[in-house]
């Protein structure tokens, strides 16, 4: 094990999460291509067919539809009045104990007010202040330690680095580093709570609730301490304690429950995206070489990797009223699966959708979502990925796939990524 950092609990939780959301090993993009042509709005549960759970499983008494085209995905995600997210409180939210600030599960004014309070902290003007720390962390805490090894599984960096970054952004004390990974493992266990089988889901919910309560206690302490100090620091916790919008502020409990969800939302998404981005580059030595020598291309490579291989293939909404998508009637209460992996490759809005081409000019992808719930952490994720890839290029010269190890494969019906990325360098 080449790095100082290691956590069996985190590695196990990450692998279990991947297995839970992997489903059938099929070419999801080929299936989606056919659906866009033959049944762009499908009546039925596409994700269940792929044998993977989603938030939609909480409302099985309602019909489920799946939407494959770019334009239909855009309409559903943009119209949060007709297509709501409140059901997430009973689904994923219930694995977090169901209380507190679960922004993903908020609708209307409640969501708008909460998002306004949180948003400034996540905008580039603030996030860019953390860039130097991301560069330092990738190099000094990780890659410098393995330079002489000349080979590694890149995920021994990619799994741990986003977790460290998220805790540093939050302002957790440095001496708690070892515990970060245990907390992150707890977050992943909660995410893995959703199961296809209702009996299994119930059991997982009990376990997740226990873990979730424990995680909350740990975070609450940090928030209360920062409030008591009257801290004017720049970390996320201190900023959220000070945040105010139209005279309203967040309570300690709200901040703590929000931060607890970030432990899950902010780490593994970035890890998985790092695994896919590096895999796509390593599979294309010419592009890899170009990126190494033309660093200004890296943001476009990240954007294209995010389009081409979204970390989550689906976003789910519930119809609040009787409505219609692409001529198909959607009764009130129906669950709507927005298949973003399909929308991101819709030939109706882009040329050569199955080609990985960072020079392309296409409409934005939906990997970070769209509309009011669009990922609040996207600037953090992109900056983090850019810092990681630059550090890899600077410190691991002529990096390439290890010919003696299995080549990385990007897999998964709901959550996608490569499990291991074995590389060598000069």
Which positions lie near ligand HEM, rule CB under 6 A? 85, 103-104, 115, 166, 262, 265-266, 269-270, 273, 311, 315, 367-369, 373, 375-377, 380-381
Nearer to ligand HEM, 7 or 365 (CB): 365
For the bound state, the minimum distance from the C-beta of residue 265 to ligand HEM, rounded and expressed in Å, comes to: 4
State phi, psi for 289 to the nearest 5 degrees: -65, -45
Nearer to ligand HEM, 142 or 379 (CB): 379
The pair of three-digit structure tokens given for residue 28, joined into one six-digit string: 């999801």
For the bound state, the minimum distance from the C-beta of residue 358 to ligand HEM, rounded and expressed in Å, comes to: 16
For the bound state, the minimum distance from the C-beta of residue 421 to ligand HEM, rounded and expressed in Å, comes to: 16
For the bound state, the minimum distance from the C-beta of residue 174 to ligand HEM, rounded and expressed in Å, comes to: 19
Nearer to ligand HEM, 369 or 408 (CB): 369
Residue nearest to ligand HEM (CB): 377
For the bound state, the minimum distance from the C-beta of residue 137 to ligand HEM, rounded and expressed in Å, comes to: 14
Nearer to ligand HEM, 137 or 146 (CB): 137
Nearer to ligand HEM, 45 or 402 (CB): 45
In terms of Cβ atoms closer than 10 Å to its own Cβ (0-12, 13-18, 19+), residue 403 is: exposed
Nearer to ligand HEM, 201 or 376 (CB): 376
For the bound state, the minimum distance from the C-beta of residue 179 to ligand HEM, rounded and expressed in Å, comes to: 19
């Amino acid at each position: 094990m080449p790095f100082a950092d290691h956590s069996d609990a985190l590695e196990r939780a990450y692998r279990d999460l991947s297995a839970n959301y992997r489903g059938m090993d099929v070419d999801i993009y080929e299936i989606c291509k056919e659906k866009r042509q033959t049944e762009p709005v499908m009546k039925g549960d596409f994700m269940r067919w792929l044998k993977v759970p989603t938030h939609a499983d909480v409302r099985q008494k309602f019909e489920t539809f799946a939407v494959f085209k770019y334009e239909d995905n855009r309409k559903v995600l943009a119209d949060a009045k007709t297509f709501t997210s409140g059901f997430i409180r009973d689904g994923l939210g219930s694995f977090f104990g169901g209380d507190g600030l679960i922004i993903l599960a908020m609708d209307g004014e409640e969501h708008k007010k909460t998002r306004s309070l949180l948003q400034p902290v996540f905008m580039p003007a603030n996030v860019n202040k953390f860039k130097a720390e991301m560069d330092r962390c990738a190099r000094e805490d990780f890659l410098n330690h393995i330079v002489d090894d000349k080979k590694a599984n890149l995920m021994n960096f990619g799994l741990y680095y986003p977790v460290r970054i998220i805790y540093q952004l939050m302002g957790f004390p440095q001496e708690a580093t070892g515990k970060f990974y245990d907390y992150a493992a707890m977050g992943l266990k909660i995410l893995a709570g959703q199961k296809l089988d209702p009996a299994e889901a119930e059991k997982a919910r009990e376990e997740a609730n226990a873990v979730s309560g424990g995680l909350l206690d740990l975070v609450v302490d940090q928030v209360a301490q920062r409030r008591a100090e009257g801290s004017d620091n720049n970390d996320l916790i201190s900023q959220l304690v000070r945040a105010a919008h139209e005279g309203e502020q967040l309570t300690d409990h709200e901040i703590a429950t929000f931060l607890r969800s970030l432990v899950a939302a902010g780490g593994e998404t970035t890890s998985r995206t790092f695994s896919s981005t590096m895999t796509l580059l390593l599979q294309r030595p010419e592009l890899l070489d170009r990126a190494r020598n033309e660093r200004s291309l890296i943001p476009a490579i990240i954007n294209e990797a995010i389009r081409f291989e979204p970390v989550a293939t689906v976003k789910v909404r519930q119809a609040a009223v009787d409505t219609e998508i692409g001529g198909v009637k959607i009764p009130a209460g129906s669950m709507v699966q927005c298949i973003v992996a399909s929308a991101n490759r819709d030939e109706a809005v882009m040329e050569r959708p199955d080609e990985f081409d960072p020079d392309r000019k296409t409409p934005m992808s939906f990997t970070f979502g769209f509309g009011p719930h669009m990922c609040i952490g996207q600037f953090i994720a992109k900056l983090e990925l850019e810092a990681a890839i630059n550090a890899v290029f600077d410190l691991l010269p002529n990096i390439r796939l290890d010919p003696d190890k299995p080549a990385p494969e990007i897999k998964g019906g709901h959550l996608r990524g490569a499990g291991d990325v074995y590389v060598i360098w000069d």
